[in-house]
Amino acid sequence: MRAECDQLLILDKISKTFTTGFRRRKVPVLRDVSLTLGRGEVFGLLGPNGAGKTTLMKIALGLVRPSSGRGLLLGGPLGDLQARERVGFQPEQPYLYPGLTAGETLDLMAGLSRLSRARTAARIDRVAEQCSLGKYLRTPVRKLSRGWLQRLTLACALLSDPELLLLDEPLGGLDPEARLAVKDLILSLRAEGKTVMVSSHILPDVEALADRVALLRDGVIIASGRISELLGSGSEGVEVEIECQRPIQLPEFCTLARERVASNRARWLVPGDDPARLQHVLASLLRQGASIHAITPQRRDLEAFFTQAMERARTEAEGSAWNSVEVAS
């Protein structure tokens, strides 16, 4: 495998099985995961808890060794020391020394990142500003709230001005204002040309940030690609909100929204973007005496795609086959 300067992280058929307990039970966590991270992109790693997102990041950093498969981190082997100088990692939980202040924590991380004294001071000022930590630098870690701890771990990851950032659930535990600030920060990092991998199970956040995503379920990538490609260009259909006094009949392809708006009001979804089909449905409704209150085009979002993809993967898994739905990126 040759190092390509435009691909900061290459994972090729990575599998990982942990053995746990006295009986050495084997638990597969990742299976044949392949992905690449191009320079300057924000990559979203999606999946429910326990899907293997964190393990994947740890494999990239060399904290966990893959059972099989190969990979390159910034052109070096996975977890390579020189490569790690150019990588910033934010773990999911804010694991830090409670006895140190935020400033001392950053000072420690600067030391571990082999920054010179002069550069340390400048970088601490910079990341404190980026993460709005300025007024908390003298506060002991144990007195920081979860949100501020999260920002501190992010600041630690940013400290060495890395080319590649691996952020594990960076928006977890943050209030709406802080989420916005962190999202802005990630976008500004992309604007600076940094490459960011964000793992999350909160899909709207990733949708707003990521250029590409990979969907991980039970250690398998079930879908990956650009969001626009995954979601398709067209709309999901049109939602029609109607009011009627008696039951009505509609063609089979229409689906009734689960929640009724009121006792005599309902929302129907007309899938697809064929105008003839919509006209046909509207005519039928009018014929049956329903009054139409609203017609809203429905755009498919990542959450819907995610739910569908997970559903599909589950049914396929039940059929015992593990298949990956690859959408060209």
Partner 1 sequence: MTIVPVMSLARHTFIDALRERAFVVLGLFLVVILVAARLLSPLALGEGRRVTLDVGLASVGFFGFLLVALLGTRMVHKEIDCKTILVLLSKPIRRSEFVLGKFLGLVTVVAVSLIAMLLMLAGILLTSGYEFDATLAVAGYYAFLELLIMAALAMFLTAFTSPVLSTFFLMGLFVAGHLSGSLIEMAQLLPNACAAKMLEAIFYVLPRLDLYSYTLEVVHGLPVDGGQLLWATSYAVIYSVGVLLLSVLILRSREFS
- Write out the residues near partner 1 by the rule CB under 8 A: 18, 55, 58, 61-65, 81-82, 84-85, 87, 89, 91, 93, 95-100, 104-105, 107-114, 140, 153, 156, 160
Rounded CA gap, 41 and 213, in Å? 11
Nearest CA-CA partner of 219 in 25, 69, 80, 10: 69
- Taking CA 3 as the corner, what is the angle to CA 215 and CA 188, rounded to the nearest 5 degrees? 55
What would the DSSP string read from start to end of 216-265?
EETTEEEEEEEHHHHH-SS-SEEEEEEE-SS-----TT-EE-SS-SBTTE
Q: How far is the CB of 214 from partner 1 (least distance, A)?
A: 20
- Residue with Cβ nearer partner 1 (7 or 93): 93
- Residue with Cβ nearer partner 1 (21 or 98): 98
- Residue with Cβ nearer partner 1 (130 or 329): 130
- Residue with Cβ nearer partner 1 (111 or 251): 111
Q: How far is the CB of 30 from partner 1 (least distance, A)?
A: 12
| Three-state DSSP state, 285 | helix
Nearest CA-CA partner of 89 in 172, 30, 186, 155: 155
Phi, psi angle pair for 182, to nearest 5° = -70, -40
Rounded CA gap, 168 and 151, in Å? 13
- Residue with Cβ nearer partner 1 (25 or 246): 25
- Taking CA 179 as the corner, what is the angle to CA 178 and CA 180, rounded to the nearest 5 degrees? 90
Residues of 257-276 as b/e, b for ≥16 C-beta within 10 angstroms? eeeeeeeeebbbbbeebeee
Q: How far is the CB of 73 from partner 1 (least distance, A)?
A: 11
- Residue with Cβ nearer partner 1 (18 or 253): 18
Rounded CA gap, 14 and 44, in Å? 18
- Residue with Cβ nearer partner 1 (16 or 217): 16
Q: How far is the CB of 290 from partner 1 (least distance, A)?
A: 57
